[in-house]
Amino acid sequence: MQLKPIFFLGVLLMACSSVCARAQMSVHALSGVVKAVGPMGIDVQIGSDTTTHFKLAPGAKVAVNFDGGLRSDSVAANEFHHVGAFIVVYFYGYGSDVTAVAVKELNAGPYAKVEGRITDYDRRGHKMTLTDADGKTHSFTLADHLIVDSDEGADDGRKFSPRKGDDVRVTYASSGTQGTVSFIHASL
């Protein structure tokens, strides 16, 4: 008869951990060009040949871990309608089952992306240098409102402290010989 209380306690603990895990969903971010917007979601071209469909977050508040500054500097995904805009989309989920929470439209571009390994990072000077797979060096200024996505989720650039040799993908607005980075995907 002692097994029933232990079994019940085990079931209760599993249920609580499931609810707690759901409450801890982290919001991540990707950048790209909006290809379509509709009641079913937003289609964003992430790479040259990759388009991702993001469902829209339900009207009710979803418990997610989303940086307050990023949230206040964006609009709810279901309120965004600018096809052709270059954006950062904030989402939760995995693989093809992703749900957009909010969208941040980036300033006028043109925007480009490059992947590479960090060779220099100057937090105070707001500068970063990386070398791509072909050995080409790219120097960047970091935007004042930098957005960084890592394994832990999306946050503002104030917390970003990469090490020399870290692999990243940056989204930048090009101007002459230098670019200004608006978004860093640090979890490659």
Q: What are the distances in angstroms from CA 47 to CA 31, 33, 34, 114?
A: 9, 9, 12, 11
pLDDT in tens, 145-180: 899 999 999 998 888 889 999 999 999 987 755 788
Per-residue pLDDT, 19? 43
Q: Is the pLDDT of residue 30 over 90?
A: yes
Whether pTM exceeds 0.85: no
pLDDT in tens, 88-111: 999 999 888 899 999 999 877 788
Computed from CA positions of residues 151, 157, 159, 164, in that sequence, does the dihedral angle turn out positive or negative?
positive
Per-residue pLDDT, 104? 94
- Which domains does the chain carry? 25-105 (2.40.50.320), 111-185 (2.40.50.320)
What's the rounded mean pLDDT across residues 14-36?
A: 71
What's the rounded mean pLDDT across residues 61-77?
A: 86
